[in-house]
Amino acid sequence: MIARRRSGLYRALAAVTVSGACMLAAGQARASQSEIFLDPAPESPGPAPEQSYPSVSGRFLGYVESANFFGVRGPDAARLPSSWQTVDPFLQGAAIARLAPRWTLSGLAEFRSFGNDPADRAFERLDGQLRNLFLSYDAGAVSYFAGKFEVGYGEAWQTMDGIYSGFSGDYSYPGSLGLGARWTLQPAGSATHTFTSILFKRDNTTLGQTWFNDYPSQPNLQDGGPGNTSGLQSGGISYEISDIPGLAGLRAGGTVARLGAGQGDQRAENGLELHVNYETPLAEGVGLRLFAEAVHLRGFMGRQAAATDMIAAASVSAGRFLYTVAVAQRRVDALEGSLADQGFVDSRDWGLAGTVAYQTDFGLIVQAGILRQQEQGVAFNQALLRFIYQTGF
């Protein structure tokens, strides 16, 4: 369901922005190595007496990606070629307008390939799309926001290093419209506690159409995921603890949420998520990040099925290099009838990926990775190379 994190054979992505919010998008126009995420409730630096309003800041990111899919096989692979190669561009631009000391208007647009067919292609089906547009109000310990923003359980879908976020497309819902609030409690000498609550609806029509052609916009209802929902029937509450005395570098949290039944769905989807993240220096110029997340969904994909997704990753940064390995697993069980009755081929899917990235002193990032994944009767390999550049103002 994530198109830059594409569904099916295209779940290969990168994102390294670290967020303090579950169930929400990450980053205050901060770019990961290959994607920008906007935070609906950014921490305000506080009003600056000398600053004039409105003021605008932004970030641009672009890359060219070469992906080679090969070794495609399995009981459900007869409909697919054994290999193919794609070359795609990807451009994103984000702008944050400070309208007043506490009011912020944020937007994010992208230009990319909307091709998902398993076939050779280069710079085809290109179009643009508005991803985010929301208004935020910072009231100090509490921030409020409303508009069009990214929604998802936990953070694997947005903060993973490397090229792979496992099956996190199962539990992220781009194209959402809603409102919410985030409350941060920071007692002196104690840990930081963050609570986030939102109400939202899935929608791929309002501000979600592609600009020049009628390509499927996010969410793409053809991917088998939950359909559009009417009204604010979906929502969730998340909690995270960080800045723990004596446990520097540790963050942990969880989310409970409900996704209302949408068009064509058999039932609503309920979910529970837990995650933990640990970062520590190993030596001068060398750092380690460990991350793990588990998500359980009942009413998976709007069907009478349950899924448990797990992903674990380790990243080592050394100077200009970043090395990442990630493993993921998904188990699917039928709540009624058999898995086949619910449209699934297999009960267990898994993936393994490794990535290395190098950042030059003039801003260019070279990222290369290899992925092996088995998903619903299809096993495949993917080799990926990206040349990424980002800048801001």
Residue where the block lists tokens 């600056």: 48
So what's the pLDDT on residue 46? Answer: 56
Euclidean distance between the first and final Cα of the chain, in Å?
A: 31
Residue 78 banded pLDDT, cuts 50, 70, 90: confident
Give the span between the Cα atoms of 173 and 151, in whole angstroms. Answer: 5
Per-residue pLDDT averaged across 80-97, rounded?
95
145-157 pLDDT per residue, tens: 999 998 889 888 8
Does residue 277 register a pLDDT over 80?
yes
Residue 47 banded pLDDT, cuts 50, 70, 90: low
Contact between 58 and 93 (Cβ < 8 Å)? yes
Contact between 158 and 17 (Cβ < 8 Å)? yes
* Domains of the chain from N-terminus onward: 55-392 (2.40.160.10)
Residue 215 banded pLDDT, cuts 50, 70, 90: confident
Q: 46: which residues sit within 8 A by CB, 6+ positions away?
A: 101
So what's the pLDDT on residue 123? Answer: 96
363-391 pLDDT per residue, tens: 899 999 999 999 998 999 999 999 999 99
Report the candidate in 170, 155, 210, 146 with the shortest Cα–Cα distance to residue 37: 155
Question: Percent of the chain scored above 70 by pLDDT?
Answer: 86
Give the span between the Cα atoms of 220 and 206, in whole angstroms. Answer: 14
Check residues 161 and 240 and name the one with the higher pLDDT: 240
Sign of CA dihedral 36, 382, 222, 172: negative
So what's the pLDDT on residue 310? Answer: 97
Check residues 173 and 322 and name the one with the higher pLDDT: 322
Residue 217 banded pLDDT, cuts 50, 70, 90: low
Per-residue pLDDT averaged across 127-140, rounded?
93
Give the span between the Cα atoms of 122 and 89, in whole angstroms. Answer: 9
Per-residue pLDDT averaged across 93-101, rounded?
94
So what's the pLDDT on residue 227? Answer: 66
226-236 pLDDT per residue, tens: 667 778 989 99
So what's the pLDDT on residue 202? Answer: 83
Token duo for residue 127: 């179009």
Residue where the block lists tokens 């672009």: 62
Q: 214: which residues sit within 8 A by CB, 6+ positions away?
A: none
